[in-house]
């Protein structure tokens, strides 16, 4: 891998189209870019577009999560690049207004970008199902998406009613022109650079909250039974967390704790012993809620940043899988008692 850069670098041009030239240069200077995606190209292939989207979403998370920003600043001072392993997003498998229900709200974007569902993980303790969406062209290098679906049907009538009211106002952020470009990208695997530049902001907009501010009473009903659904009520389909792939997550966790950072107590180790994960606790954010007396602002758990070590498979290559126990423990970072 090497860093992207230069006036003829197509990846930089794609990111700059969404963020501006200066921000694109800073971001690309902070992450590791696959060799195959750096430099000039006559057209924007799906892997480049996918990587550009991941970087745009990473920058959004860094802007929302102070602890993640502090970690990125540490890396910049040390001259060590961030290796973006995956981003996690949450959906609800239920009617969502004009938005497609469940993971289809996002997988309709991931498929044309070259992703396919690699594995499914039952997250029964959280009433969720998680799926790893892995890139077909560069599976080790293009960040994965861990897309989870929340299942409200197992909860009581009051909970389901609150969830229905929260989700009913959901709008579909994907305009027809963007949907048409996605369809062509899915068929041809590439777009003209100008088309890709115009498409990326529409794709990034899909990773956000698309429903109105929830009623405070509904939020409280959801939070009492499911911190995960309560998080979706305020944050929607935004990155729940992004993840740096590091050589030794246990050593990193010790260093971060010594710095006084808000680390999870323990490192999670997969059943195979090959995937190790830990995370910062979620930073609190201020969100607006509706009440009969008018709007009120309260602090609730926002997003967070994660760290992962992937060890090699016996047959070679990195273990790109996840682990049900690991994932459920990491997801608890957005529970109200875990946030800061």
- Looking at residue 117, its pLDDT comes to 98
Copy the structure tokens of residue 296: 């009120």
Buried b (16+ CB within 10 A) or exposed e, 134-162: bbebbbebbbbbbbbbbbbeebeeebeeb
59 pLDDT above the threshold of 90: yes
Cα-based distances in Å from 213 to 18, 109, 169, 235, 295: 26, 25, 9, 10, 9
More confident residue, 224 or 339: 224
Provide the pLDDT confidence category of residue 340 given band limits of 50, 70 and 90.
low
Strand pairing class (304-310; 241-245): parallel
Domains (ranges, CATH) in the chain? 47-172+206-334 (3.10.180.50)
Question: Can you give the pLDDT at residue 338?
Answer: 57
Each residue of 258-299: pLDDT tens digit?
A: 999 999 999 999 999 999 999 999 999 999 999 999 999 999
> Residue 28's closest CA among 1, 46, 65?
1
SS3 111: coil
Alpha carbon distance 248, 233 (integer Å): 35
β-strands 268-269, 294-301 pairing: unpaired
């Amino acid at each position: 891998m090497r860093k992207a850069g230069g006036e003829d670098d197509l990846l930089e041009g794609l990111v700059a189209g969404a963020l501006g030239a200066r921000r694109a240069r800073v971001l690309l200077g902070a992450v590791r870019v696959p060799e195959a995606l750096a430099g000039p190209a006559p057209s924007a292939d799906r892997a480049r577009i996918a990587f550009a989207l991941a970087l745009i979403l990473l920058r959004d998370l860094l802007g929302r999560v102070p602890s993640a920003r502090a970690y990125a600043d540490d890396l910049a001072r040390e001259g060590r690049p961030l290796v973006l392993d995956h981003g996690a997003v949450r959906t609800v498998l239920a009617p969502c207004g004009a938005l497609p229900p469940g993971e289809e709200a996002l997988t309709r974007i991931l498929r044309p970008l070259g992703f396919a569902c690699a594995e499914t993980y039952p997250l029964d303790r959280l009433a969720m199902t998680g799926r790893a969406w892995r890139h077909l062209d560069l599976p080790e290098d293009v960040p994965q998406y861990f897309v989870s679906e929340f299942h409200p049907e197992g909860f009581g009538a009051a909970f389901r009613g609150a969830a229905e009211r929260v989700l009913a106002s959901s709008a579909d952020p994907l305009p027809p022109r963007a949907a048409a470009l996605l369809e062509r990208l899915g068929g041809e695997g590439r777009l003209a650079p100008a088309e890709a530049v115009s498409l990326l902001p529409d794709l990034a907009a899909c990773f956000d909250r698309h429903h109105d501010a929830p009623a405070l009473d509904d939020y409280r009903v959801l939070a009492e039974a499911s911190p995960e659904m309560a998080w979706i009520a305020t944050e929607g389909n935004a990155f729940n967390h992004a993840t740096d792939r590091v050589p030794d997550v246990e050593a990193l966790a010790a260093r971060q704790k010594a710095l006084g950072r808000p680390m999870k107590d323990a490192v999670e180790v997969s059943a195979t012993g090959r995937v190790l994960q830990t995370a910062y606790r979620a930073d609190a954010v201020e969100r607006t809620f509706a009440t009969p007396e008018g709007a009120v602002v309260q602090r609730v758990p926002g997003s967070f940043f994660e760290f992962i070590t992937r060890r090699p498979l016996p047959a070679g290559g990195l273990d790109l899988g996840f682990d049900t126990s690991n994932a459920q423990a990491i997801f608890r970072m957005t529970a109200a008692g875990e946030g800061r």
